[in-house]
Structure 1
Amino acid sequence: MAEIIIADTTRRYDGTHLETQPLGGTESSVIRLARELARRRHAVTVYTNCTTPVEDHGVMWRPIAGARPESCDLYVACQHPRLLRFVKRPKRRAIWVLWQPNHLKHYKQLGRVWWYRPVPVLQSLHQVNIWSPVLPRRDPQILIPLGLPEDVRGRAPLAAPPPRRAIFASNPQRNLRRLVEIWAEKVLPRLPDAVLDCYGVHDIPAGRDAWDVWGGSLLPADPSPQLRASVRVHPTATREGLIEAMRAARVLVYLGHKVEAFCLSVAEAQALGVPAVVAPVAAVPERVLDGITGYHEADPDRFAERTIALLTDDALWRRQHEAAIRYQQGISWSEYAGRFEAALLADRFPINRSVLAVPPGEEDTPSG
């Protein structure tokens, strides 16, 4: 099969970190795609800012600070045009656009993009719609929505509604302060017993209170005792802990951010059956079926009203909870890898159909 190289410089990680450390959407997506491509019998090597070589789930992980590879069948640069030159002479070069594509047309990057002309792989209609006409493009564009891992897919509906708990599960720099302001002004006065649990990867020192660290920056300044008790910022959670927290929430609330190119946290919450109230910003509304599995609301008053409704109306919550489980399971990472392979390799290598029907949990079983 094909020799595939992937390069990513978002942070220091390797494949083993998926089970041992909290990761962002980019890093976890790289690991999951690499594993699935290796399961399809491709020879996969991933170069990151890791410190030592590692082999994990059939994938070779290498420090990107080492020697540049000479060639491969497919080279995938993650997001950054500066990575396009990393493999000297690949037979095919692609750029996996996991963030907004606007930076690709920056005057410092545009020359690199046109020189190498990588095949772009996009994740959302939002990315397709804002793709600049000055950039090289595929016609039609390759659009594959990110896969969802099996630990959030296929859950049974909850027997009873959770208590009045909302959850925020994203980078706290992505409009957490404004969300808390809406909560304080429009939700908490009507639901004094409601709780907003805030999860995400952050670096608050152990033993420090988030309100003391973030007050006036990522959180409002001078909170009332009631607000301080209602909005609870949790330490960075394990994946299992975050899934448990999501399943225990009645609604996910998120104002979105202009940089969202897919919004994996909302997609995973929806797959778990959590209704969501989101602002229609960037790719975020693509993750929620408006009026069916949640709501798109730009107006703060309407945003608060929808949140209150899902926190208090058991019948509404039940309809949207079960609709999310029914309609928002997304595609598996196995299917994502199959589409990725078909889009970028099918004209050069036959698809290995022996791996298409491997049941979950038997990925390492040799095919007959």
Structure 2
Amino acid sequence: MAVIRMADDGIAFDGDTLSCGPLGGAETAFISLAEALAARGHDVTIHNHCGASMKRYGVVWEPLEKGVPETADLYIANRGDRLIHLVPDARARVFWTHNPAQYLNKWRYWRKMARWRPTVVFSSEFHARSIAAWMPTGGKETIPYGISEAFLAADPPADPPPPHVAFTSSPLRSLDWLLGLWEQGIRPHLPGAELHVFSSPKTYGAHGDARADAMNAVLDRARTMAELGVVLRDPLPKADLAEALAGFRAILYRGDPGETYCLAVGEAQAVGVPAVVQDIGCVAERVVEGETGFVAADDNDFARRGCAILKDDELWRRLHAAALAQQRQWSWDDAAAAFEKLLPL
């Protein structure tokens, strides 16, 4: 058993947040890794902006304001430069970054990275390529996010679902573009098709509040497109989302250059939902081209591929079966095992 301490200084969340409501990808990953490490027998404590001390699913939660211990076998600093130096006597130190690493190209990061030399953990090959070659580190590792058990264990549909499409990402991540493509390139060919948008600023806590006007402008556009089959829905907790996704025919998601894993597509693929994406950011890594979905060459190809999945039952069956066979291979337990390799010998 190793003593593992993890710290985050972003939005407030705690041991109940993930099971009770929607949550952003980085926060989902942070909680899921902690719970998976605890399930593997480790002593895991999270220090963050939780409101009170608690223990959930084997993980101890402590308010960051109460301070952190001096030592641990492994210390994982999540995202922020103000966390890198904490737990000064940790035997191994990880800096887990969740955004393209160009944001590290600042003196305050360089200075702390040079002093503490943490192993930097990335979530995709696209992500790993984003760090400057001159950035001092103690090593670089790519460990993809795991997929939560709710999605890995979801019951797939016996028959092709109706032509309903899911969108489960931020409103600012290509939803406005998708609404335009839906109106011009997809719905005219499939008058009965529906686009269900599970999206809200509420998912992103204080970060969502800061961007609420921009997010709501896109969601307001979606709300006006009800006659075109656009259905605006509240985001769901993970277990409910996994169950809901099983009833969708496809997930259509362009991709975003600021994204480094894309749980939205990874989770849908694990449920067996075929995907159409473009080669933007990391998202092409979530799809096995031509087998579990398609990486479209351009907007016209995107619309064409999306329409084909919505119309062609045999195509859907092939992509669906391949997604179930190939996209359920990496759980949070697997990710935790990869993090264990960063423990000191």
Whether the 8 Å CA contact 1:37–1:337 is kept in 2: the answer is yes
Q: Gapped runs of 5+ residues in structure 2?
A: 204-212
- What TM-score, normalized by structure 1, do the two folds share? 0.85
C-alpha distance 151-226 of structure 1, shift in aligned 2 (>3 A): same
C-alpha distance 156-54 of structure 1, shift in aligned 2 (>3 A): closer
Whether the 8 Å CA contact 1:75–1:92 is kept in 2: the answer is yes
C-alpha distance 110-319 of structure 1, shift in aligned 2 (>3 A): same
- What TM-score, normalized by structure 2, do the two folds share? 0.90
For 1:207, the equivalent position in structure 2 comes to none
What is the CA distance between 1:25 and its match in structure 2?
1.8
Q: State whether structure 2 residue 143 is matched by structure 1 residue 175.
A: no
Paired amino acid for 2:175: L
Partner Cα separation in structure 1 for residue 103 and residue 63 of structure 2 = 25
Whether the 8 Å CA contact 1:99–1:260 is kept in 2: the answer is yes
For 2:208, the equivalent position in structure 1 comes to none
For 1:266, the equivalent position in structure 2 comes to 265
For 2:206, the equivalent position in structure 1 comes to none
For 1:159, the equivalent position in structure 2 comes to 158
What is the CA distance between 1:101 and its match in structure 2?
1.6
Q: State whether structure 2 residue 142 is matched by structure 1 residue 148.
A: no
Taking the TM superposition and a 5 Å limit, the aligned residue runs for 1:103-114 are 103-114=103-114
For 2:64, the equivalent position in structure 1 comes to 64
Paired amino acid for 1:300: D
What is the CA distance between 1:249 and its match in structure 2?
0.9
Partner Cα separation in structure 1 for residue 314 and residue 103 of structure 2 = 44
Deviations 1:158-182 (A, max 9, x none): 2111111011110111111111001
Whether the 8 Å CA contact 1:173–1:218 is kept in 2: the answer is no
Partner Cα separation in structure 1 for residue 223 and residue 200 of structure 2 = 24
Taking the TM superposition and a 5 Å limit, the aligned residue runs for 1:247-326 are 247-326=246-325
Of Structure 1 and Structure 2, which has the larger fraction of its residues in helix?
Answer: 2
Deviations 1:94-135 (A, max 9, x none): 111222222112234222222221111122111122221121
What is the CA distance between 1:240 and its match in structure 2?
3.1
Partner Cα separation in structure 1 for residue 56 and residue 5 of structure 2 = 15
What fraction of aligned residue pairs are identical, expressed as a percent?
Answer: 36
What is the CA distance between 1:188 and its match in structure 2?
1.3
Partner Cα separation in structure 2 for residue 118 and residue 290 of structure 1 = 35
C-alpha distance 94-215 of structure 1, shift in aligned 2 (>3 A): closer
Paired amino acid for 1:273: G
Deviations 1:15-42 (A, max 9, x none): 2222222222222222221122222332
Paired amino acid for 1:105: N
Paired amino acid for 1:111: R
Deviations 1:75-108 (A, max 9, x none): 1101122211232332221111222222112234
Q: Gapped runs of 5+ residues in structure 1?
A: 205-211, 349-368
For 1:130, the equivalent position in structure 2 comes to 130
C-alpha distance 220-35 of structure 1, shift in aligned 2 (>3 A): closer
Deviations 1:174-207 (A, max 9, x none): 1111110011111111112110001134349xxx
Paired amino acid for 1:74: L
C-alpha distance 5-84 of structure 1, shift in aligned 2 (>3 A): same
Runs of 4+ residues deviating >4 angstroms: 154-157, 212-225
C-alpha distance 130-5 of structure 1, shift in aligned 2 (>3 A): same
Taking the TM superposition and a 5 Å limit, the aligned residue runs for 1:53-92 are 53-92=53-92
RMSD between aligned residues: 2.3
Paired amino acid for 1:82: R
C-alpha distance 213-74 of structure 1, shift in aligned 2 (>3 A): closer
For 2:333, the equivalent position in structure 1 comes to 334
For 1:352, the equivalent position in structure 2 comes to none
